[in-house]
Structure 1
Amino acid sequence: MTEQLVSEDKLTPTSLTETLQSLQQKGLPPVHDWNPGFCGEIDMRICVDGHWEYMGSPIGRESMVRLFSTVLRHDDDGHFYLVTPVEKVRITVDDVPFVAVSVETVDEHLVFTTNVGDKVVLNQQQPLRLSDAGRGVPYILVRDRLEARIHRNVYYELVSMAELQMVHDQEQLCIKSGEHYYSLGMVE
């Protein structure tokens, strides 16, 4: 990938950009099925608050961030990569790549929206987890080992709808989505 792909004032069509846009129009690309050669690391970073940077500068084009987010993959080696059928480049992710910025109830299910527009239904396939042995930051699985950190404001909204439940002989604050309860942490 070249600097041209993320430069705001000189975005030029390239085969990679055209490929990504074509794939985006068809839905999420099957990045987990692609096995291109590793092309190295680029100076792209996803910060804890969810904003993306290239060479230390924020990527200001929301559409470009959304496009890159569709070809993001978290591999078994613990690293994050932008992947196309012909390229695989490593990027830096400070925590997790996404932030859940809102939540709404739809047909008795909690639906989160991420900073890049993904909609995630809290269910057993896309569960909630807490860091630090059930006492820390909440995360939700978005897709294929890619998680979203629950934004603080969204967390407080979840707390306001939570109820106390006994889980493994511990009193926990839980939220319900569909027929299942998910813990927001132990009550001390």
Structure 2
Amino acid sequence: MNKADDLLSLLEKAGKDEQGLPPVEQWKPQRHADIDMRIARDGTWYYEGSPIQRERMVALFSTILLREGEDYFLITPVEKLRIQVDDAPFVAGEVQQVDGKLVFTTNVGSHVVASGDHPIWVEIDPQTAEPSPYITVRKNLRALIGRSAFYQLIDWGKEVDGKLVVESGGERFELGALEE
């Protein structure tokens, strides 16, 4: 299989609505607790202050992540554990264009296609004016778009009414206003 076939296969998987993920929203565990686990802005997961080195473990934890309001939890049928998230629980470090769609790869190896259900948006820090671009990964969980992926989006962007936009599958996403 060549790289294009691999990307198309990823695109097909990403287009399905959370196929293969546990039904975390349906679980109502009785045990609730806080644990010393944190996801840093760069996507590194920490347990008791030490980075979790096992990628498979982080990938597994990411599938049982739930957000309620501003709180994040790892949830199973028997327990719900509150964790800390510095910014977004995922980082989208890579982006590819496949058949007119933008396909992002996250730090946990998942793939998401920018669409109406998975929008891209940019928040601007009011003090520093630094942009923080995001994409919705699933439900109310988002990924911070990494710097190189964001630069790639900017490179692919087009001016529309004084704004820089990118398109994915017929949807348009604004990256920011162009300076005159």
The answer to whether TM tops 0.5 is: yes
Alignment of 1:62 with 2:40, yes or no, is: no
Which of 148, 162, 175 is the matching residue for 2:166? 175
Does the residue aligned with 2:115 lie in a helix, a strand or coil? coil
State the match for 2:134 in structure 1.
Answer: 139
Alignment of 1:93-172 (within 5 A): 93-132=85-124, 136-166=131-161, 171-172=162-163
Structure 1 counterpart of 2:84: 92
Structure-1 residue corresponding to 2:42: 49
Pair 1:54–1:124, CA change in 2 (3 A): same
**What's the Cα RMSD here?**
1.6
Superposition misfits of 4+ residues, deviation over 6 angstroms: none
SS at match of 2:60: helix
Partner amino acid, structure 2, of 1:54: Y
Which residue identity lines up with residue 53 of structure 2 in the other structure?
G
1:151 corresponds to which letter in structure 2?
G
State which drifts further: 175-184 or 124-133. Answer: 124-133
Higher-Rg structure is 1
Contact 2:115 2:171 in 1 (8 A): yes
CA contact (8 A) 2:125 2:132 kept: no
Identity %: 47
Distance 1:174 1:151 in 2: 17
Shift of 1:132: 3.0
Give the structure-1-normalised TM-score.
Answer: 0.80
RCO higher in structure (CA 8 A, sep ≥6): 2
Q: Determine the C-alpha separation between the residues in 1 that align with 2:172 and 2:138.
A: 20
Query: 5+ unaligned residues in a row in structure 2: which ranges?
Result: 1-18
Aligned partners of 2:68, 2:55: CA distance in 1, in Å?
A: 25
Shift of 1:144: 1.5
- Matched residue of 2:87: which SS? coil
Question: d(CA) in 2 for partners of 1:71 and 1:137?
Answer: 25
Q: Distance in 2 between matches of 1:39 and 1:144?
A: 22
Deviations for 1:153-173, whole angstroms, at most 9, x for unmatched residues?
10111111111001xxxx110
Q: Is the 8 A contact 1:73 1:144 kept in 2?
A: no
* Residues 1:82 and 2:70 aligned together: no
Does the CA-based 8 Å contact 2:29-2:76 persist in structure 1?
Answer: yes
More off after superposition, 38-47 vs 138-147: 38-47
**Structure 1: gaps of 5 or more residues:** 1-25
**Equivalences, count:** 158
The residue aligned with 1:18 is: none
